[in-house]
A and B are shown apart, each in its own frame.
Chain A
Amino acid sequence: MSTLIEAKDLNLFYTDFHALKNVNLTIPEKAVTAFIGPSGCGKSTLLRTLNRMNDMIAGTRIEGKLTISGTDIYSQEVDVETLRKKVGMVFQQPNPFPKSIYDNIAYGPRLHGIKSKQKLDEIVETSLKSAALWNEVKDHLKRSALSISGGQQQRLCIARALAVNPDILLMDEATSALDPISTLKIEELVQDLRDKYTIVMVTHNMHQAARVSNQTVFFLNGEVVEYDDTEKLFSNPEDQRTEDYISGRFG
């Protein structure tokens, strides 16, 4: 698998707080990479640097290099908006817009200039199918997105992200607000999507990382302690701290 994302000596500060310390990491293309670690370890922070959502927090400072397909995404030449079109994101809480199911999916494509009704219909259908939601909502696309269940809403948010045709999909603890059955559905969905997208997910749930990811990265206190093939990291970690964490001795 070839490398898509690479961090070199990446440091991030929230005003005085040193949130990411000398992160060196590669993330492979068309695979699932999971970030694990205890709360406040920097895993969500790193995820949010990948689509520059941290830019909106005042006092954020970044040093080092973060490249996607070889381009430094923090260089002057990069439009944040174009970057975010390529790097989609799904959040911890489902956050559908207070609009219809159809308009939620069509929001992104419309933003990027697609006006043709036929084209939009097509995108809505394929996105909902990719997110395994089409069969459940196809008969009431005009209904409010807030009328469906939390698990469906989260899959709607995934479909919304897919509708702008990203290369990378970031999932920030996307199942932590959901019930076990909805969680399972989303995990299955992630498995289906990894042939076409590079997926980076933050999870609190180690078992989830073990179940769905190809590569796992373990964070502690803003540092990347270790990253490796998921199977290897969980069965035979190199660092003692990783071993302690995955065997449940802390965290």
Chain B
Amino acid sequence: MPNKQETTIDKTNASSNPFKNSRVSILNKIMPILLFLCAIVSVFTTIGIVITLLSETVNFFREIPIFDFLFGTKWSALIEPKQFGILPLLAGTLMITSIAIIVALPIGLASAIYLSEYAPDKVRRIVKPILEVLAGVPTIVYGYFAISIITPIIQFIFPSAGVYNALSAGIAVGIMIIPMICSLSEDAMSAVPRSLRDGAYALGATRFEVALKIVVPAAFSGIVSSAVLAFSRALGETMIVSLAAGSTPTLTFNPLDSIQTMTAYIVQVSLGDIAHGSIEYGSIFAVGMTLFVFTFLLNILAQYISRRFREEY
């Protein structure tokens, strides 16, 4: 018997090799390649987008000096005399985003703390899915909501406010990103081990003190990520601002004025009959590039912050 076994192993023929299996070897060869191809799709798409943006942007800057673009305070792309100073659009975008964050961050964080630290299991099980549904509401609906409900309330309080104003759109964008901040922060807080909470409770900490001094610091990197993701989302939000914030690129810091954001400008130009290759056409790529650079820097900042303040547990 021992002799026979030896001879089977010695055989070099694959079909009779007891440690060879066609299913296993094919899967091991094919799957990594297949999965790699899928992964590379998004990488190539990103590269493609950046190249398109860059080439059109470069064309645009051949005609408009980059200095005028970055520091000009007047934007009138569609009306003569044409001027391409990005500052009004930038100010509009930042105003909407700031209002949104001012609305969403406290409410989102407070509800996350409630859900993770106070709410009984039953409440959490009902509220969380509802929040996630809220995150799936199409943004055009929020736009209608801004015009038909928020704007009249604002006009009631501040009669000087226009039909289109930054405040209304900003609040709607804020409401839109609340679920995102709440849901992601709640995930981060729930992931903080119970033993840490127990340690603090055992020292005589109240629920609120545990939430604020133990859970929030331990979940800080997750909370920052959620806030930055929401910030980027607000920065890129298009539909609500196109509907409710107007289309007047003015450099103003009054939230009751009508403004225009970078995204809303791109929509406005894309929908019009602008000739391919014209200066207006190039301008939407330059504006898009600016937006891209902003979100990119923001993400880097977020990574830095969340790494810098991470509390490992």
Are A157 and B199 in contact (CB-based, < 8 A)?
A: yes
Are B121 and A97 in contact (CB-based, < 8 A)?
A: no
- Tell me, rounded to whole Å, the shortest Cβ–Cβ distance linking B220 to chain A: 10
Are B195 and A111 in contact (CB-based, < 8 A)?
A: no
Asked if B279 lies at the interface with its beta carbon under 8 angstroms from chain A, I say no
Question: For the complex, what is the distance from the CA of A5 to the CA of B186, rounded to whole Å?
Answer: 40
Please give me the residue from chain A that is nearest to B122 by CB atom.
A58
Could you pull out 28 A-B pairs where Cβ atoms are within 8 angstroms?
A56-B201, A82-B204, A83-B204, A84-B202, A84-B204, A85-B203, A85-B204, A88-B202, A88-B203, A89-B202, A91-B195, A91-B202, A95-B195, A95-B198, A97-B199, A97-B200, A97-B214, A97-B218, A98-B218, A98-B313, A99-B311, A107-B200, A111-B204, A111-B209, A111-B213, A157-B199, A161-B202, A164-B203
Q: Which residues of A contact B312 (CB under 8 A)?
A: 98, 144, 146
Asked if B130 lies at the interface with its beta carbon under 8 angstroms from chain A, I say no
Residues from 218 to 266 in B contacting A, C-beta threshold 8 Å? 218
Q: Which residues of A contact B291 (CB under 8 A)?
A: none
- Tell me, rounded to whole Å, the shortest Cβ–Cβ distance linking B12 to chain A: 52
Are A53 and B204 in contact (CB-based, < 8 A)?
A: no
Q: Which residues of A contact B120 (CB under 8 A)?
A: 58
Residues from 102 to 151 in A contacting B, C-beta threshold 8 Å? 107-108, 111-112, 144, 146
Asked if A81 lies at the interface with its beta carbon under 8 angstroms from chain B, I say yes
Q: Which residues of A contact B (CB under 8 A)?
A: 51, 53, 56, 58, 81-85, 88-89, 91, 93, 95-99, 107-108, 111-112, 144, 146, 157, 160-161, 164
Are A81 and B206 in contact (CB-based, < 8 A)?
A: yes
Q: Which residues of A contact B103 (CB under 8 A)?
A: none
Q: Which residues of B contact A58 (CB under 8 A)?
A: 120-121
Question: For the complex, what is the distance from the CA of A144 to the CA of B313, rounded to whole Å?
Answer: 11
Q: Which residues of B contact A111 (CB under 8 A)?
A: 203-205, 209, 213
Q: Which residues of A contact B200 (CB under 8 A)?
A: 97, 107
Q: Which residues of B contact A51 (CB under 8 A)?
A: 202
Question: For the complex, what is the distance from the CA of A157 to the CA of B196, rounded to whole Å?
Answer: 11
Q: Which residues of A contact B199 (CB under 8 A)?
A: 91, 95-97, 157, 160
Question: For the complex, what is the distance from the CA of A85 to the CA of B313, rounded to whole Å?
Answer: 24
Question: For the complex, what is the distance from the CA of A56 to the CA of B203, rounded to whole Å?
Answer: 15
- Tell me, rounded to whole Å, the shortest Cβ–Cβ distance linking B79 to chain A: 57
Q: Which residues of A contact B195 (CB under 8 A)?
A: 91, 93, 95
- In the complex with contacts A95-B196, A98-B313, A112-B202 CB distance below 8 A: no
Please give me the residue from chain A that is nearest to B193 by CB atom.
A95
- Tell me, rounded to whole Å, the shortest Cβ–Cβ distance linking A170 to chain B: 8
- Tell me, rounded to whole Å, the shortest Cβ–Cβ distance linking A249 to chain B: 34
Q: Which residues of A contact B218 (CB under 8 A)?
A: 97-98
- Tell me, rounded to whole Å, the shortest Cβ–Cβ distance linking A15 to chain B: 13
Are A98 and B311 in contact (CB-based, < 8 A)?
A: yes
7 smallest A-B Cβ distances: which pairs? A85-B204, A98-B311, A89-B202, A95-B195, A108-B203, A84-B204, A95-B199
- In the complex with contacts A95-B198, A97-B196, A161-B203 CB distance below 8 A: yes
Please give me the residue from chain B that is nearest to A111 by CB atom.
B205
Residues from 83 to 122 in B contacting A, C-beta threshold 8 Å? 120-121
- Tell me, rounded to whole Å, the shortest Cβ–Cβ distance linking A193 to chain B: 17
Q: Which residues of A contact B201 (CB under 8 A)?
A: 53, 56, 84
Question: For the complex, what is the distance from the CA of A93 to the CA of B195, rounded to whole Å?
Answer: 8
Q: Find the residue from A83, A97, A144 having the highest chain B CB count within 10 A.
A: A97
Q: Which residues of B contact A88 (CB under 8 A)?
A: 202-203
- Tell me, rounded to whole Å, the shortest Cβ–Cβ distance linking B196 to chain A: 6
Q: Which residues of B contact A95 (CB under 8 A)?
A: 193, 195-196, 198-199
Question: For the complex, what is the distance from the CA of A144 to the CA of B128, rounded to whole Å?
Answer: 34
Are A81 and B198 in contact (CB-based, < 8 A)?
A: no
Are A53 and B203 in contact (CB-based, < 8 A)?
A: no
- Tell me, rounded to whole Å, the shortest Cβ–Cβ distance linking B198 to chain A: 6
Q: Which residues of B contact A112 (CB under 8 A)?
A: 204
Question: For the complex, what is the distance from the CA of A83 to the CA of B204, rounded to whole Å?
Answer: 7
Are B198 and A164 in contact (CB-based, < 8 A)?
A: no
Q: Which residues of B contact A82 (CB under 8 A)?
A: 204
Q: Which residues of B contact A91 (CB under 8 A)?
A: 195, 198-199, 202
Q: Find the residue from A53, A56, A111 having the highest chain B CB count within 10 A.
A: A111
Question: For the complex, what is the distance from the CA of A164 to the CA of B193, rounded to whole Å?
Answer: 23
Out of A53, A98, A107, A160, name the residue touching B198 (CB < 8 Å): A53
User: Knowing that A58-B120, A91-B199 are A-B contacts, what are 4 other residue pairs whose CB atoms are under 8 Å apart, sorted by A's residue number?
Assistant: A84-B201, A85-B204, A91-B198, A108-B204
Please give me the residue from chain A that is nearest to B204 by CB atom.
A85
Q: Find the residue from B121, B193, B203 having the highest chain A CB count within 10 A.
A: B203
- Tell me, rounded to whole Å, the shortest Cβ–Cβ distance linking A131 to chain B: 15
Q: Which residues of B contact A164 (CB under 8 A)?
A: 203-204
- Tell me, rounded to whole Å, the shortest Cβ–Cβ distance linking B126 to chain A: 16
Please give me the residue from chain B that is nearest to A112 by CB atom.
B204
- Tell me, rounded to whole Å, the shortest Cβ–Cβ distance linking B184 to chain A: 20
Please give me the residue from chain A that is nearest to B192 by CB atom.
A98
- Tell me, rounded to whole Å, the shortest Cβ–Cβ distance linking A241 to chain B: 32
Are B121 and A107 in contact (CB-based, < 8 A)?
A: no
Are A160 and B203 in contact (CB-based, < 8 A)?
A: yes
